[in-house]
Amino acid sequence: MPQSADKVKDHISLFKEPEYLELFASKKAQFECRPTDEAVAAQAEYTKTWEYREKNFAREIATINPAKACQPLGAVFVAAGFEGTLPYVHGSQGCVAYFRSHLARHFKEAVPIVADSMTEDAAVFGGLANIVEGLQNAYTLYKPKMIVVSTTCMAEVIGDDLSAFIATAKEKESVPADFPVPFAHTPSFVGSHTTGYDNQMKGILSYFWDREAQLTAAAGDKINIIPGFDGYAVANNREIKRYLDTMGVDYTFIGDVSDVYDTPSDGEYRMYDGGTTLDETRAAINAKATIGLQEFCSLKTLEYVATKGQQTAAFNYPMGIGATDAFLMKVSELTGKAIPASIEKERGRLVDAITDSQAWLHGKKFAVFGDPDFTLAMSAFLMEMGAEPTHVLATNGAKEWEAKAKALLASSPFGASGQVWAGKDLWHLRSLLFTEPTDFIIGSSYGKYLEKDTGIPLIRLTFPIFDRHHHHRFPTFGYQGALRVLVEILDRVFEVADESDISFDLTR
């Protein structure tokens, strides 16, 4: 054997041993029933052509590697941001394992989510029994302060009524009658994780403000912040709170996962850590205004909040100079608090850093993919740095996003050649990169397959990031976050330059 208990090899070197090379060759020859290597290579070359691109973009049904997830992922993300709250999914266990693993692999944290494990009988007779028993078990075993329920495809296809089911469960004393169980219908077959985030956030607020209605709306001076679905929430939420604290703003951060997805290793397991308290959530109805940091994660929520007499404002991921400026000025306008000199200095340092490095970024072409708000912010920041967002793609981007993205690119000479791709997937992007290549790709870990196929370097800057560690612990929001993004991009630019004998320089 190539290894033993006394000599354990890393998998990279282990699988290069003769025994494994022989095993792989045998598997390929005997079981894969594949065409010849020459035929495979010829087909691969064909997929790089304009002719194949036209056929690829003509497909109407099949989706290949979409840059999005399904609604319940966003719903459980929202639920985790509240004090002592257990996310509960009414649906099949397999779906929930996906949500749990997706978040755990990105944040490198245990992610508590429970499911009532609907199976074939529930698909035929309905999932009421699952809800009744599941809520009782979850409440008894895990002792949460709140359980937030969302759904998967199975429950939605058969039309399970969450409101009636939860009411029945309370009648059967699965949980106390006054125990908070907000819910949202989050069918996986429509929308995406950003839609699920929005639906669940609205469901939680409407539970406390309408169903429970302990407080009557009376305008105060606080502002509410709704962060949106964000793989960098651990650091970004803290960065936004630092700004608000520095300005002396009185605020409520609604749905704050910065602690629960960043717990310490100190001998104590924290199933619930931090989060917006339930009393803060109730009192948020009395805020003067609510700000959504990601417009396309809070469309329905902000519309609902406006019916309570609050002012609302929405941004598209406050990253970069202009986006951070707009956010801070809106906060100042709403609260009457001045932007302090310390924050202005941070802005100046970012401008200085961009100026120092602008020659290395000017004219570089980028393909950007991800969620609607991220792609807008990333494209805007690239143009601020003199780079060119050539392909901007959001699988979960709709017509409103498409129009906004086109207007953004048209606002700068650096966006003049940019193209916007709403509803397209990463296989579409592959065709684009072969026929109209860029210098770099910005997106999630799923872009590494594009990097391998096309040879275009990937810069990981959005959720999910599975194959690198701890990116989420450093902000991308605000001036400091933009500085960090600038460094990430520059490092990749310099790494590519180092691959050339002509530009293998010690000083840049």
CB neighbourhood size of 131 (10 A): 28
Active site residue 157: yes
The rounded distance, in Å, linking the Cα atoms of 324 and 351 is 12
> What angle is formed at CA 384 by the lines to CA 382 and CA 390, rounded to 5 degrees?
35
The rounded distance, in Å, linking the Cα atoms of 308 and 284 is 11
Residues near 408 by beta carbon (within 8 Å), at least 6 away in sequence = 376, 379, 380, 415
The rounded distance, in Å, linking the Cα atoms of 459 and 481 is 15
The rounded distance, in Å, linking the Cα atoms of 447 and 441 is 7
Residues near 397 by beta carbon (within 8 Å), at least 6 away in sequence = 296, 372, 375, 405, 422, 423
Q: Hey, which residues does 369 pair with through a beta bridge?
A: 393
> What are the DSSP calls for 299-330, one per residue?
HHHHHHHHTTT-EEEE-B--BSHHHHHHHHHH
Tell me, what amino acid is at 506? L
The rounded distance, in Å, linking the Cα atoms of 106 and 56 is 31
Residues near 16 by beta carbon (within 8 Å), at least 6 away in sequence = none
User: Tokens at residue 77, please?
Assistant: 């993300």
Choose the catalytic residue: 40, 157, 190, 487. Answer: 157
C-beta separation of 198 from 185 below 8 A: no
> What are the DSSP calls for 169-232, one per residue?
HHHTTSS-TTS---B----TTSS-HHHHHHHHHHHHHHIIIIII--S-----S-EEEE--S-TT
Q: Which helix (H) or strand (E) holds 289?
A: strand 289-292
Tell me, what amino acid is at 450? L
Q: Hey, which residues does 367 pair with through a beta bridge?
A: 391, 441
Choose the catalytic residue: 111, 114, 153, 234. Answer: 153
The rounded distance, in Å, linking the Cα atoms of 372 and 294 is 9
Active site residue 95: no
C-beta separation of 168 from 53 below 8 A: no
Exposure class string for 373-400: b at 16+ Cβ within 10 A, else e: bbbbbbbbbbbbbbbbbbbbbbbbbeee
**Residues forming the active site:** 153, 157
